[in-house]
Amino acid sequence: MRMAVADLRVMGRATQGVKLINIKNNDSIAAVAKVLHEDEEEIEEVENGTEIENNNEENNNEENTNQNQE
């Protein structure tokens, strides 16, 4: 799930923060990461998994080629 900082409401000092999502009783957050803004096209490729899978396959092929040459 991604949220743009610009979409968050600004609150005053006396508030207790901004609630971004509701979490069910037994659910928990595994990780939080700050990422740079990406274009819509890049986000779609990553969501579909095509970009990540293709890069991994290319990296594995390059590593195997380099090992065979040694």
State pLDDT tens for residues 9-53.
Answer: 777 667 677 777 888 888 888 888 888 876 665 556 555 555 544
Domain map of the chain by residue range?
A: 5-69
How far from chain centre, in Å, is Cα 65?
30
CA distances from 60 to 3, 42, 48, 64, 70 (A): 32, 22, 20, 6, 16
As a dihedral over the C-alpha atoms of residue 46, residue 35, residue 19, residue 10, rounded to 10 degrees, the angle is: -130
Amino acid at 17: G
pLDDT level of residue 7 (50, 70, 90 thresholds): confident
pTM for this model (two decimals): 0.31
> Beta-carbon neighbour count of residue 51 at 10 Å?
13
